[in-house]
């Protein structure tokens, strides 16, 4: 009997000690592990409703332990600060933009789509869709009197974001800039007949093509980015443009303009803050960075492989 009592006391002591040292470990949803080194190293991570989640990180990046993002006081300093400042700022900047969560697949799924297209190199696939020398691209500049970068971006904000599933009847379908500019207005599936429509990759590829074709930038100073972005309405894979001025990169995102709300069956007006240099002063919520490319250069930002110039290895200061 005494032996049983002693063992019971020891067991209780061990349980109490464990709870004091690891109070959250009994609550599965109060903690997660996230691999993190920099924005380059965040592969297959996402943030949903303020919580960071990870999957399929095969590169064995050193991990840090992060407790529930629902309680900033219990987070590591980096994520606590990010939760309290950048996440709150982003809530104001990107409210009511639900389309971003539906733009593209996660990296692994996206890569499998490319593999099914029998592309030997992802870079080859991406670069096919930036076409500054295309006749339709050049005619679009001339016909719309787009002589400088500001006018080009202003025009890009009139393009209407619409999902691939609605426009093309499939979850992921890339269109050449010429098709995007000249043919989508007359697609039978276009609910905004007469308007140039598609989702993020067409808009990014076409904006990059126009900026290079105009002579405002060259292939070293404009690039398309693909990564995972966390906006207020949800996190998702996304494509946008970055340009290089005065030794620094900053994002341009034409999907900040008009978009088609399928639930309401109507076009939603452009964001109030569409200044060309908006993201030199405001944060742009990139959680993962996968690829940079244009018609000449490509770099995989996870494997660090590609033929891009040295300045492509630097990031915009607006990344959180």
Highest mean pLDDT, choosing among 138-142, 166-170, 225-229? 138-142
Encode pLDDT of 55-92 as tens digits.
Answer: 222 222 222 222 223 222 222 233 233 333 433 444 44
pLDDT tens-digit series, residues 174-220: 999 999 999 999 999 999 999 999 999 999 999 999 999 999 999 99
3-state helix, strand, coil in the chain (%, to 5): 40, 20, 40
Question: Which pLDDT belongs to residue 91?
Answer: 43
Residues sharing a CB contact under 8 Å with residue 29, sequence separation 6 or more, in sequence order: 68
The DSSP secondary-structure symbol of 83 reads I
Q: Is the pLDDT of residue 27 over 70?
A: no
pLDDT-based confidence at 113, cuts 50/70/90? low
The DSSP string of 84-142 is IIIHHHHHHHSTT-GGGGGSB--HHHHHHHHHHTT-S-HHHHHHTT--TT-HHHHHHHH
Can you give the pLDDT at residue 111?
61
Count CA atoms within 13 Å of residue 306 on its CB side.
Answer: 26
Give the model confidence (pLDDT) of 293-311 as tens digits.
Answer: 999 999 999 989 999 999 9
| Predicted local confidence at residue 25, as pLDDT | 39
- The mean per-residue pLDDT over the stretch 226-249 comes to 89
Q: Give the pLDDT of residue 171.
A: 81
Q: At what angle do helices 200-213 and 135-143 cross, to 10 degrees?
A: 80
Question: Tokens representing 128?
Answer: 């096919």
Sign of CA dihedral 94, 196, 210, 269: negative
80 by DSSP, 3-state: which? helix
- Which of 43-57, 103-117, 231-245, 300-314 bottoms out in mean pLDDT, i.e. has the lowest? 43-57
In the chain the domains, ranked by start, together with CATH numbers, are 27-92 (no CATH), 98-313 (3.10.620)
What pLDDT does residue 17 have? Answer: 52
Give the pLDDT confidence score for residue 239 in this predicted structure: 94
Q: Residue 170: its pLDDT value, please?
A: 87
Indicate the helix (H) or strand (E) that contains 250: strand 248-252
C-alpha 6/C-alpha 269 separation (Å) is 72
Helix axes 149-156, 200-213, angle to 10 degrees: 160
Using alpha carbons only, give the angle 105, 106, 108 rounded to the nearest 5 degrees: 115
Q: What is the sign, positive or negative, of the torsion defined by CA atoms of 248, 77, 75, 63?
A: positive
Average pLDDT taken over every residue of the chain: 73
């Amino acid at each position: 009997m005494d032996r049983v009592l002693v063992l019971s006391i020891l067991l209780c002591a061990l349980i109490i000690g464990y709870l004091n040292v690891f109070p959250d470990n009994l609550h599965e949803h109060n903690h997660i592990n996230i691999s993190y080194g920099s924005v380059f190293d965040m592969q297959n991570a996402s943030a949903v409703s303020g919580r960071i989640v990870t999957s399929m990180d095969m590169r064995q990046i050193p991990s840090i332990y992060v407790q529930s993002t629902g309680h900033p006081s219990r987070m590591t300093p980096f994520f606590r600060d990010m939760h309290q400042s950048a996440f709150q700022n982003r809530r104001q900047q990107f409210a009511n933009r639900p389309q971003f969560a539906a733009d593209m697949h996660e990296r692994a799924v996206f890569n499998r789509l490319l593999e099914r297209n029998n592309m030997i190199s992802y870079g080859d696939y991406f670069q096919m869709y930036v076409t500054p020398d295309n006749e339709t691209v050049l005619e679009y500049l001339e016909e719309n009197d787009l002589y400088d970068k500001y006018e080009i971006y202003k025009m890009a904000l009139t393009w209407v974001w619409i999902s691939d599933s609605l426009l093309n009847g499939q979850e992921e379908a890339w269109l050449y800039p010429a098709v995007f500019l000249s043919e989508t207005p007359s697609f039978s599936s276009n609910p905004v007949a007469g308007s140039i429509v598609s989702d993020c990759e067409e808009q990014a590829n076409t904006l990059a093509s126009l900026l290079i074709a105009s002579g405002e930038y060259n292939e070293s100073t404009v690039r398309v980015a693909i990564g995972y972005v966390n906006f207020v309405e949800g996190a998702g894979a996304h494509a946008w443009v970055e340009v290089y001025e005065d030794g620094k990169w900053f994002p341009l995102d034409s999907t900040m303009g008009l978009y088609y709300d399928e639930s309401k069956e109507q076009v939603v007006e452009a964001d109030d803050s569409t200044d060309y240099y908006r993201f030199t002063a405001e944060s742009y919520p990139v959680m993962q960075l996968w690829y940079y490319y244009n018609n000449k250069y490509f770099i995989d930002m996870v494997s660090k492989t590609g033929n891009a110039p040295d300045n492509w290895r630097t990031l915009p200061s607006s990344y959180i």
